[in-house]
Each structure stands twice: as C-alpha cells, then as structure tokens.
Amino acid sequence: MKTDFWYRFSKNRLAVAGSVIVVFLFIVSLLAPWLAPFDPTAIDLKNILQPPSAKHWFGTDPLGRDVMSRMIWGAQISLKVGFVSTGIAILIGAILGSVAGYYGRGVDAVIMRFVDIMLCFPTFFLILAVIAFLEPSIWNIMIIIGATGWMGITRLVRADFISLKERDFVQAARVIGASDARIIFIHVLPNCMASVLVAATLGVAGAILTESALSFLGIGVQPPTPSWGNILTAGKDNIDIAWWLSLYPGLAILVTVLGYNMLGEGIRDSLDPRLRS
C-alpha cells in the first residue's frame, strides 16, 4: 500500500511541486543563521528604504534593515507558528473526536454541540477577541491559533471512529479485555491518521496565513522580531515609494500557502485514488 501511495504521489505534479516548496522553506528556515546576509534587526539609518540592489537583494525597510535577511528569519517564525499551532489543534481535535466517536450518545451530543457553538464564532474575530486580553507574543499567537482551530479535526476523527469502532479488530480487542483507552489510542486512532495528516497539512497553511494577518495588523509577532506580516505593515505605510516591501513578503506568503495546499491535496488524492481528477 505504501508503494501504491508513493507511486500515485509521484505522478501528481502539483503534489510534487508542493512538496518541493515545503522542503525548500524548511531548509531556508533551518539554515537562516547562515543564509541571511545581514543581522535582521540591525538598524542602518544610512540605507533607509533602499531599492533592491547587488548589496541588498530585496531592498531595505524604513529603518535600513535588510529585507531579505528579515524574510529568511521570518520563514522560521512562520513555520514555527504553523507547526506548533497545528500540533495543538490536532491534539485537542483528536482527543475530543476520539471520545465523541467511540462513546457516542450523550458524550457525542455534548462534544458536538460544543463544536457547533465554537463554529458559530468567526475564527479570526475570536482570535482578535482573545488577543485583546493577552500580551501579543509568538507563543500566545501559536496557542490561540491552535486552540481555535481544532473543530474540523474533531469532526473528521469522530466520523472515522464511527465507521471503525464496529470493525472486527475492535471487537476482538474488547473480547480480550482491552481497556477503552487502549482501544481508542492504540487500535482505532492510528487508523485515522491518514485523514488527520491531510487536515494537518492544510492547517499549517491556514495558521501561517492567520499569523501573517495578525502581524500585519500589529497584534501578532512584535518588532523587531521579523515576520512576513510585519514586513507587509511597513510596505503598507510606504506603498508609494517602497514597492519591494509589499511584493516580496506577499509573494512569500502566497507561495508558502499554495505549497502546503498543493501538498495536502496531493496526499489526499494519493491516499484515496477515487478522488483523483
């Protein structure tokens, strides 16, 4: 089955392109201390708002900082936020979805009504409301995005549990006296990981986009820490004279989100050939 998956995945050009983008960004963020040509926080008032040149490939910002260096370090911030917040969402969603799907009836009703209530609130505005009471920091951003993004994973895991809990291997585990916790986390939940993996890949893209939007509004990652979103803020304030401050971080966000979406769609199509176009 693994061989079939990799064969279908390798034949999907969009999935391969998405994986190349994701791996490239991961390498860039990992090697940021060596790839960045300048200190991303170093102020140089003699080179304020310099256009792209041989010295500063992506130009400089209103404080004379090298935009390329800030974008390289910003990739590290974006991926950190994407992975940590998605991990939190998966942890919460997998536990609640497993319990709801396995026990059903009253437990399922309570958990799913809570999910419905959470889905009634626009996620982005819910995040804004929570941040209003907390200090804007990268850790708070990661926790808030993760704590408000678990509802879809809960529904996904619950649906898988409902179809799997009556299978023969689950009945056999009950016969030999396995506890509910063992059946849930050892026998059933691993069989839901394929769909969770797809949701997680798409979730990383959403988390990166949310963090960039929050930083753009000034309530996300705070300067001088570099983030694609706060670079865009500087671009907004100088759009008439410094086009590079909007173009390059905007393209970085676009390509990153597109790469993760293509990878997630490719994994989904490779796991279920019926979904291939």
Domain count, the chain: 1
Contact status, residue 206 vs residue 149, Cβ threshold 8 Å: yes
| 46 part of a folded domain | no
- The string of pLDDT tens digits covering residues 208-247 is 888 888 888 877 778 788 888 888 888 887 888 888 888 8
**What CATH number has the domain bearing residue 236?**
1.10.3720.10
Q: For residue 3, tell me if it sits in a domain.
A: no
- Residues in Cβ contact with 85 at an 8 Å cutoff, skipping those fewer than 6 apart: 141, 142, 143, 145, 146, 149, 203, 207, 211
Q: Is residue 227 part of a domain?
A: yes
Whether 139 maps to a domain, the answer reads yes
The rounded distance, in Å, linking the Cα atoms of 214 and 208 is: 10
Domain that holds residue 97: 8-35+66-275
Is 53 within the bounds of a domain? no
User: What 3-state class would DSSP assign to 66?
Assistant: strand
Model's pTM, two decimal places?
A: 0.86
Q: Report the DSSP beta bridge partners of residue 66.
A: 60
- Find all residues with CB under 8 Å of 69, minimum gap 6, and list them: 36, 37, 38, 39, 40, 226
- Note whether residue 29 is domain-resident: yes
76-131 pLDDT, tens digit each? 888 888 899 999 999 999 999 999 988 888 888 999 999 988 888 777 777 777 77
Through-space distance between the first and last CA atoms of the chain, rounded to whole angstroms: 20
* pLDDT per residue as tens digits for the range 5-26: 777 778 888 888 989 999 999 8
Say if 263 falls within a structural domain: yes
Q: What is the pLDDT of residues 28-72, one digit of tens each?
A: 988 988 988 888 888 888 888 888 988 889 888 888 899 999 999
Return the residue matching tokens 């998966």: 90
Angle at alpha carbon of residue 239, lines to 29 and 122, rounded to 5°:
65
